[in-house]
Amino acid sequence: MTARVFIDGEAGTTGLLIRDMLGARRDVEIVSIPSEKRKDVEAKKALMADVDAIVLCLPDEAAKESAALAGSLGNSAPKVLDASTAHRVNPDWAFGFPELAAGQGEAIAHAPRVANPGCYSTGAIALLRPLIDAGLVASDYPVTINAVSGYSGGGKSMIEAYEARTAPDFELYALGLEHKHVPEIVKYSRLERRPIFVPSVGDFRQGMLVSIPLHLEQLPGNVKAGQLEEALSAHYRGGQYVRVVTAAEMADAGGKLEPQSLNDTNRMELRVYANEARGHAVLVAKLDNLGKGASGAAVQNLELMLSLEPVSAA
C-alpha cells in the first residue's frame, strides 16, 4: 500500500529534505498543491482530505492554522506531523522522539497528531531524561546546556549570510536566555528547574554538538561517570538510531570531538567525558541538525505513524 503525504511548506530547508527522503521511497507518494493555490483554503482542505498524512514545515502561526484546518475534517482528517515549535508541549500532541521512553514509539504510531522535536532539544533530552529517570541526576539540578549547530538550522536568511561570507565564523546567540526549545527540554527531560541554555552557530552547513557539564559531587549518592554511561547505554540498548559511545571507544580521540561525522544520517551519538579526580563530567550528544534534529526525525516518525518499513537509518 502506498501512503499519500502532503508537505505543507515543502520549499523550506526541512521540507525540501523530507521531500527528498520520501521521494526515494516506493511506499510513499508525495502530493503537492499548485503554487497558485497555496493560499486557497478550500483547495488545501480538499487536498488534506485526500491524503494519509500532512507534514507541517511552517512558521508556528501558520502551522497552527494548517493543523486546525486538518482537524476540521473530522473523521476524514489525515494524521498530522508538525515540524514547527507550535505544538511541542501541547498535551494533545504526541512528542515525536521515539527513544524518549518505553512505549513512546507506540504512542507516536497511534497518535493522530505528532510534534517533531527541536534539534537542540533532541540532544539535550536524549542525555538528560534517562539519567533523571534513573535517579542519577536530580530533577532540580542546575543544568547548563551549551550547543553549537551548523548554520543550516538558522533558516533562509542565516544560510544566505553564511554562504555569501557576510556572517561571522562563530557566534553565540539567544543570549536573552529565552530560546524556543527550552520549554520542551524542561517538560520531556522532567526538569523541575529551568536550565540555562546557550546555543551558538559555526561556519559549517550542518552538524551539531549539545553538551551538558556536571559536577559529580552535586549528583545524588556520589555518582560516578561510569554509572552515567551505563544508564544511557541501558536506555538506548537495541535502538536503531541512538548509540552510546563508551569511554573505551573514546580513549584514542585525544579529548576532541567534531560535529559533522553524522551528517546526512538519522543517527545520534551520546558520550560521557569525565575527570574523576576533579569531580567533573560532560555529557555530549552529536547529531545532524537536519537529520535526527529535523527531517530525519520527521521521516522516522512518519514511518511509525503510517506503518512504513523503517529505512531511515542511514
Let me know: does 158 contact 165? Beta carbons within 8 Å: no
3 state SS of 36: helix
Round to whole Å and give the CA distance between 73 and 135.
44
**Mean pLDDT value across residues 130-157:** 94
Q: What is the pLDDT of residues 246-296, one digit of tens each?
A: 988 887 778 899 999 999 999 999 999 999 999 999 999 999 999 999 999
pLDDT at 18: 95
The pLDDT assigned to 209 comes to 98
User: What pLDDT, on a 0 to 100 scale, did the predictor assign at position 1?
Assistant: 76
Reported pTM: 0.95
Do residues 53 and 66 lie in contact, with contact meaning Cβ atoms separated by under 8 Å? no
What pLDDT does 312 receive?
58
Checking if the pLDDT of 95 tops 90, the result is yes
Q: Tell me, rounded to whole angstroms, the distance of Cα 147 from its chain centroid.
A: 14
Kindly state the average pLDDT of the residues 171-180: 96
All structural domains of the chain? 3-116+294-305 (3.40.50.720), 119-289 (3.30.360.10)
Average pLDDT over residues 143-154: 94
pLDDT bucket at 122, cuts 50 / 70 / 90: very high
pLDDT of residue 97: 98
Q: What angle do CA 288, 235, 249 make, to 5 degrees?
A: 65
Pairwise CA distance, residues 99 & 235, whole Å: 8
- The pLDDT value recorded for residue 309 is 87
Q: What's the pLDDT at 119?
A: 97
Write the burial class of residue 175 (CB in 10 Å: 0-12 exposed, 13-18 middle, 19+ buried): exposed
Give the per-residue pLDDT at 38: 78
DSSP states of 174-242: -TTS--TTHHHHHHHHT-SSPPEEEEEEESSSS-EEEEEEEEGGGSTTS--HHHHHHHHHHHHTT-SSE
57 is catalytic: no
The single-letter code of the amino acid at 121 is S
Determine which one of 119, 131, 214, 302 is catalytic: 119
Q: Look up residue 193 and give its three cell numbers.
A: 528547574
The predicted-structure confidence for 6-41, as pLDDT tens digits, reads as follows 999 988 889 999 999 998 899 999 999 887 777 788
Q: How confident is the model at residue 191 (pLDDT cuts 50, 70, 90)?
A: very high
Rounded CA gap, 211 and 308, in Å? 33
- The sign of the torsion formed by the CA atoms of 145, 151, 152, 156 equals positive
Distance of CA 298 to the CA centre of its chain: 9
42's grid cell: 478550500
196-254 pLDDT, tens digit per residue, is 999 999 999 999 999 999 999 999 988 999 999 999 999 999 999 999 999 888 877 78
- The rounded percent of the chain whose pLDDT value lies above 90 is 84
pLDDT of residue 28: 95
Closest CA to 215 of 257, 256, 276, 171: 276
Contacts of 278 (CB under 8 A, 6+ apart): none
What pLDDT, on the 0 to 100 scale, is given for residue 10?
87
> Which of 113 and 159 is assigned the larger pLDDT?
113
pLDDT of 300 higher than 60: yes
Beta strands of the chain (E only): which ranges? 3-8, 28-31, 53-56, 79-82, 94-95, 113-115, 144-150, 170-172, 196-202, 208-215, 242-245, 268-275, 280-287
Q: Is the pLDDT of residue 115 over 70?
A: yes
Q: State the average pLDDT for the chain.
A: 94
Residue 114 phi/psi, 5-degree rounding, is -130, 135
- pLDDT category at 141 given cuts 50, 70, 90 is very high
Residues in the chain: 314
- Is the predicted pLDDT of residue 313 greater than 60, yes or no? no
